[in-house]
Amino acid sequence: MNKNNKGFLLSEALVVSTILLTGLVFIYSMYVNSTMQVAMNRNMNTVNATYLASQIIRFANDYEYWLERAQLQRFSGPYSLQARHDVSRAIELLEAGGAEKDALQRAYMQRAGLTPPGFIALKDCLKVIEMASPDANIEVIRCQTFFAQEGISIFDLTVNSMQALLSEPPVVLSVCEQLLKRGCDERRLLAVRGQAYWQMGEQAKAIEDYKVVVMFEPSAGDTVSRSDAYASLGVYYRVTGKLDEAFENFSLALEEDPKNAYAYYGRGFAYQDKSRQPGLTEEQRKEFQELAKQDHDTRMELLQLQQQRRPPR
């Protein structure tokens, strides 16, 4: 019994001492925190601390500070989210303070250059275009981007964004109309508009736009070659059942570029369609099927050559 009583008393003493020690530690930590808070308050009431706080507030409300900080953040990586956040803060300050149009336009240009082509970039580009004077040349107004130190024109960024947005054809059509009224590069805009019409199922309008596109040589920055434009027109005619016009445009595409895999691909399908038409002899049917196979094989060979010529990553 004595042994059991001693063990019980020992355990009880251990529990009580643990509780007391925990309480003392808690009281000490509260004392330390209070002391630090008092010291901090005392330090913050100095002239230097007050000046530092006022400088922080001034910088936080200075749009130029945010734009400059974004410029430094830009080199941390392509399309830096932090840089975009900083420019957005500058835009908020400019709009709230009723800033001059030039400063606001510059901020929107900077943010557009920090954004991948798409709907968000397009919105900023349209802001810049709306703020530009009616006679301003949109094709020479440039914004800085991570990839192009010399800058990319707002027009180029707008077109690239529209091409990334072809799944939203009404948006693309609206922007194309605005830029066409401003006298911007008609060929590039009609090529994008034609693709948008095609996405909407308005084949006739797409064909009319591309009939104009093939009449002009590509300008600088234009990604649609004349050969590709003819090939696209061939595809549009083929899908609408106008095979003669389709073959004519595929041939023109290959005259412009004999290595255009897209044209061979489209013409191969046109030959398949031709082989299914009624009234053909078995020999004629086999001939068109063989021509289709030749075009598809040629396309695959060209694609393999292009793959081999790509530099290793």
Does residue 34 lie in a domain region? no
Q: Domains in the chain: how many in total?
A: 1
Structural domain contains residue 274 = yes
Cβ atoms of 243 and 267 closer than 8 Å: no
Q: Let me know if residue 51 belongs to a domain.
A: no
239 lies in some domain: yes
- Please, what is the Cα angle at 231 between 225 and 237, to 5 degrees? 140
Amino acid at 13: A
Which segments of 257-281 does DSSP mark as H helices, in order? 261-275
CATH number at residue 249: 1.25.40.10
Over residues 159-196, the pLDDT tens digits come to 999 999 998 999 999 999 999 999 999 999 999 999 99
Residue 79 counted as domain residue: no
Position 248 scores a pLDDT of 96
Residue 270 lies in a domain: yes
Regions of the chain short of the pLDDT cut 70:
1-9, 13, 30-61, 73-78, 99, 146-150, 309-313
How many other C-beta atoms can be found within 10 angstroms of the C-beta atom of residue 225?
A: 16
* Residue 82 neighbours by CB under 8 Å, 6+ apart: 70, 73, 76
Residue 214 confidence (pLDDT) = 94
Q: What is the pLDDT, as a whole number, of residue 7?
A: 64
Determine the residue type at 294. Q
In a domain, 183, yes or no: no
Provide the domain limits for residue 254: 225-313
Q: List the structure tokens of 143.
A: 């914004």
Among 265, 200, 209, residue whose Cα is nearest residue 235: 265
Alpha-helical regions (H) of the chain: 2-44, 47-60, 63-73, 81-96, 101-113, 119-131, 154-164, 169-181, 186-199, 203-213, 226-239, 243-256, 261-275, 282-309
**Rounded CA separation 236/238 (Å):** 5
Q: Kindly state whether residue 290 falls inside one of the protein's structural domains.
A: yes
